[in-house]
Structure 1
Amino acid sequence: MIFLCAIKLAPDSIFETAITLFQRGGMVMWPLLVCSLIAAAQAIERILCYTRERTADALAGKNMERIFAALALGHFKEAEKVASETASGGGRIILAGLRQRDVALRDALTAAAELEIAALRRGLTVLDTIITLAPLLGILGTVTGIIRSFHMLSASGAQDPAAVTGGIAEALITTAAGLVISILSLIPFNAAVSIVRRRTRGFDQLVHRVVVTCERGGSNGA
């Protein structure tokens, strides 16, 4: 577990300590481990996705200028051709709109923008679920551990309370693990939400700009 790295131990003993704490945490540590792996994989996948989108936008800058220059002159076929060669979210949105320009330009642009936004949001529900689920699993592990500790206390007739308190301390491992997984998942989740919101505003502005430019250039013909 990632939180175990915070323990000030020699590098060669960290792994052994992690295994020991994992075993002491009980069965609930297994679903917590699954949650941590899923969250890490999802966060990495989103980072790669947003990096690709950002790179595509940077490379598509000149093409976007050509598209709007063609639209302003009413050269819709040329704009559609350039848009088809533009591998970015903005290019795909414009292409979808121009293909239905004579029917419902704004509706087509909006629908394409929604598809792009949905792709950007993919996987965020998983992270959001883990943010909520991990602490609950941690608490569940702690509760079951405390129940087990008090059962031991009852069985031993209070002869060794130190063993019981030690068991309670170990039961808290799952709560700590769940909280750390939740916190570390929250960071990429909030970053992703911020990116999606920013891209949504950008797509809204793009749709408006395309509609206005097409209306102004429409009198020039295709």
Structure 2
Amino acid sequence: MSTTLFEAAAKGGLMMFPMAALSVATLACTLDRAVFWAGLYKNEDQIAHRILEAARYSLADANQLAKEAGAQPIARFMQASLKLVNPSPESFRLAMETASEQEFEKMGKGNKLLETAVALAPLIGLLGTVTGLMHTFSGLDMGGPGGADTSKAAEGIGEALTATAAGMIVAIIAMVILRVCVSFESQQLSYFATIGGELELIYRELWYEPRMVEQAKAIASLERNYEDDRALVDQ
């Protein structure tokens, strides 16, 4: 089987060398993305909800949980806001938005390579076919017996088309992998938005707003004491 594949590749001519390099790069990128996404989906939801539950009772504990699970993008995303000290809701949200941009940049790693493979592989294959046809026709003896030359030309054309077929195969595989990765990224975008919204709501309702109420009460108490002191002085 391997001999047959090697022989088929050899028929594609010199353009099969860059095609092989592009194939290896695509395969390496595929393996890297497979490991990344498998690790990401392993405990993501469990970690996110543990942090959310902890945030209801202690932001410090939630921050510690997120820090311990720092290998997970969702944990780093949540910790970006949890590690802040008494932030405003706007700062809390901005920290998550900035972290999400950084995480999605990491999730998109390899997409450029796959896009390059999708665009470049068919062109390399076409170039291999063109050069193969040029080589085939240049070797024909136009004045010789027609039967031998026709058979030779048919064989040469078949070999030249190998490069185009190889280019299409590499491009199709790269396209499928790219679409799968983009689909995963789209799912994560929605998931991050959901978790981020829940975390922000917890912070607003359980921590920020009660703190503002306490501060308002403290200010009102100080104002009353000030007014009482002034009244005593006036007397």
TM-score, scaled relative to structure 2: 0.79
Structure 1 residue 59 displacement after superposition: 4.8
Looking at both structures, which has the greater relative contact order when contacts are Cα pairs under 8 Å and sequence separation is at least 6?
A: 1
Distance (whole Å) between structure 2 residues aligned to residue 166 and residue 210 of structure 1:
66
Distance (whole Å) between structure 1 residues aligned to residue 143 and residue 161 of structure 2:
23
- Check the 8 A contact 2:114/2:174 in 1, yes or no: yes
Distance (whole Å) between structure 1 residues aligned to residue 62 and residue 2 of structure 2:
58
Distance (whole Å) between structure 2 residues aligned to residue 106 and residue 136 of structure 1:
45
SS state of the match for residue 139, structure 2?
helix
Structure 1 residue 116 displacement after superposition: 1.1
Residues 50-199 of structure 1 correspond to what in structure 2 (within 5 A)?
50-61=37-48, 63-70=50-57, 75-87=58-70, 88-100=72-84, 102=87, 104-153=91-140, 155-157=141-143, 159=145, 160-199=149-188
Distance (whole Å) between structure 2 residues aligned to residue 127 and residue 191 of structure 1:
11
- Check the 8 A contact 2:76/2:99 in 1, yes or no: yes
SS state of the match for residue 32, structure 1?
helix
Asked which structure has the greater CA Rg, the reply is 2
Distance (whole Å) between structure 1 residues aligned to residue 157 and residue 53 of structure 2:
67
CA 1:158–1:97: 2 relative to 1, 3 Å: farther
SS state of the match for residue 169, structure 2?
helix
SS state of the match for residue 60, structure 1?
helix
Tell me the residue number matched to 1:9: none
Moved more, 132-141 or 77-86: 77-86
SS state of the match for residue 63, structure 1?
helix
Structure 1 residue 83 displacement after superposition: 2.1
> What one-letter code is carried by the residue in structure 2 that aligns with 1:188?
I
- Check the 8 A contact 1:63/1:83 in 2, yes or no: no
Distance (whole Å) between structure 1 residues aligned to residue 127 and residue 192 of structure 2:
43
Tell me the residue number matched to 1:219: 209
- Check the 8 A contact 2:121/2:168 in 1, yes or no: yes
Structure 1 residue 128 displacement after superposition: 1.4
Structure 1 residue 195 displacement after superposition: 0.2
- Check the 8 A contact 2:19/2:167 in 1, yes or no: yes
TM-score, scaled relative to structure 1: 0.84
> What one-letter code is carried by the residue in structure 2 that aligns with 1:190?
R
| Deviation >4 Å, runs of 4+ | none
How many aligned positions are there? 204
| 1:42 correspondence with 2:42 | no
- Check the 8 A contact 1:149/1:164 in 2, yes or no: yes
CA 1:152–1:135: 2 relative to 1, 3 Å: same
Structure 1 residue 62 displacement after superposition: 5.2
> What one-letter code is carried by the residue in structure 2 that aligns with 1:191?
V
Tell me the residue number matched to 1:5: none
